Homo-oligomer: A and B are copies of this chain.
């Protein structure tokens, strides 16, 4: 069982968003406590005060810590001796910035949904705050939490694939095949609304995940980007399909294809990576398998916790023996676990790494915003190549 030693207690979590009817808030709340290292003790669960109050019992949040606004919460918690150790921000995109900034400035660690902010300017400003305050800041690119995604990262870092030449990352969904946003479907509504979602639709929602996955696995630094976005559902305000090409510093070529209009495709994030020594392939919908190939050898299927060939990080990211499938919640929880390690370390007065962390961090968040921004810009410029590299991005 993981512990929080030397910190001799569970971490105290605050939740922003997650009120009744929310989906992702519940996912955060479930994943964050899966390993019993944290307890949810406070929340500003809705921007509607009544709903904020009414939702608290669902999470066992006591009435006195069920705040009616994040501002109130930040102020009140700051004064408590048993203040929350971190807050999780599970609200629509356009509100991330104010919330995250408020808490970071008050010294709270933050776990924030992706995309990091509404636009790039906000992201840059938030980054400054985080750098200044030194808080632990995680962005829930949750797919990085899958044990075999981490296995891929370990293998690539160890050079098992050789030099990386190509990354093909795809995130294919079908749920926005119709104008679902015309109905009252809450998830569809805000995701297709430029005022809440930001400059991109499909590429902001899932294209960023696909890009991040390749970045996380390979550590390759990008240099340029070209993108073609499409709106296939007539009348929709934001892209629902697109392809970006990415050039990396080492000469590799990447592609990101994302779709929300592919009939019957559920949540099909998959990636293929070609190296000079070997290649690999992973599919989010079958997360317990990683395919590794090498010319002349049989194709190999690595399984989660499958044997001594599994790396340290991947191995420590599993809770169950191989063949007992783990899935979405556990991967989400793994992002939290890695974040907790950093929070505990910081609580002990140690300096924590903020780049190249096991959990996706604020720099990844900023890079994601840069990705979205450049994709939209390139697409408007008929797919012209644009410089794409944040000065602070690290391998």
Q: How far is the CA of A230 from the CA of B23 in the complex (A)?
A: 43
**A268 part of interface (Cβ distance < 8 Å):** yes
Assess whether A68 is interfacial by the CB under 8 Å rule.
no
Cross-chain contact A322 with B261 (CB below 8 angstroms): no
**A320 CB to nearest chain B CB (Å):** 6
Contact in complex: A245, B264 (CB < 8 Å): no
Count the A residues whose beta carbon is within 8 Å of the partner chain — how many?
85
Contact with B along A97-125 (1 / 0, CB 8 A): 00000000000000000000000000000
Counting CB contacts under 8 A, is A189 at the interface?
A: no
Q: Taking the nearest CB of chain B, how far is it from the CB of A17, in angstroms?
A: 15
Query: A266 contacts B383, CB within 8 Å?
Result: no
Q: B253 contacts A228, CB within 8 Å? A: yes
Report if A174 contacts B (CB, 8 A). Answer: yes
Copies of this chain per assembly: 4
Residue A177 at the B interface, CB < 8 A? yes
Q: Which A residues from 8 to 54 make CB contacts under 8 A with B?
A: 10, 23, 26-27, 30, 34, 36
Is A288 interfacial (CB 8 A cutoff)?
A: yes
Q: Is the CB of A263 within 8 A of B285?
A: no
Does A362 interact with chain B (Cβ within 8 Å)?
A: no
Query: Contact between A1 and B30 (Cβ–Cβ < 8 Å)?
Result: no
Contact with A303, one of B27, B257, B299 (Cβ below 8 angstroms): B299
CB-defined contacts of A385 to chain B, threshold 8 Å = 382-383
Interface contact B295-A177, CB-CB below 8 Å: yes
- Are the C-beta atoms of B279 and A263 separated by less than 8 Å? yes
- In the complex, whether A323 has a CB less than 8 A from a CB of chain B is yes
Contact with B along A296-321 (1 / 0, CB 8 A): 11111111001111000000000111
Among A134-188, those with CB < 8 Å from B are: 165-166, 168, 170, 172-175, 177-178
Chain B: CB-nearest residue to A247: B228
Contact between A266 and B323 (Cβ–Cβ < 8 Å)? yes
> CA separation between A350 and B325, bound complex, in Å?
37
Assess whether A330 is interfacial by the CB under 8 Å rule: yes
Q: Which residues of B contact A243 (CB under 8 A)?
A: 245, 253, 255
Pick from B172, B275, B308: contact of A263, CB under 8 Å: B275
Query: From residue A65, how far is it (CB to closest CB) to chain B in Å?
Result: 17
Chain B residues whose C-beta falls within 8 Å of the C-beta of A190 in the assembled complex: none
Nearest B-chain residue to A58, judged by Cβ? B1
| A174 cross-chain contacts in B, Cβ below 8 A | 279, 293, 295
Determine whether A267 belongs to the interface, using a CB cutoff of 8 Å to chain B.
yes
Contact flags (1/0) for A258-293 with B, using CB distance below 8 Å?
A: 010111111110001011111100001111100011
Chain B residue, CB-CB nearest to A40: B36
Q: Does A327 contact B (CB under 8 A)?
A: yes
Q: How far is the CB of A385 from chain B (nearest CB, A)?
A: 6
Nearest-CB residue, chain B, relative to A280: B263
Instruction: Give the residues in chain B near A327, CB-CB below 8 Å.
Output: 324-327, 330
Residues in B whose Cβ lies below 8 Å from that of A326: 327-329
Interface residues of A (CB under 8 A from B): 1, 10, 23, 26-27, 30, 34, 36, 58-60, 165-166, 168, 170, 172-175, 177-178, 226, 228, 230, 232, 241, 243, 245, 251, 253, 255, 257, 259, 261-268, 272, 274-279, 284-288, 292-303, 306-309, 319-330, 382-385
Known: A255-B255, A324-B328, A327-B327. 12 other contacts (CB 8 A): A166-B259, A175-B295, A243-B255, A263-B275, A264-B279, A264-B293, A266-B306, A266-B323, A295-B307, A297-B307, A298-B301, A382-B385
15 contacts between A and B (CB under 8 A): A165-B261, A166-B232, A166-B241, A168-B170, A174-B279, A175-B295, A230-B253, A264-B278, A264-B279, A286-B286, A298-B309, A301-B301, A326-B327, A327-B330, A384-B384
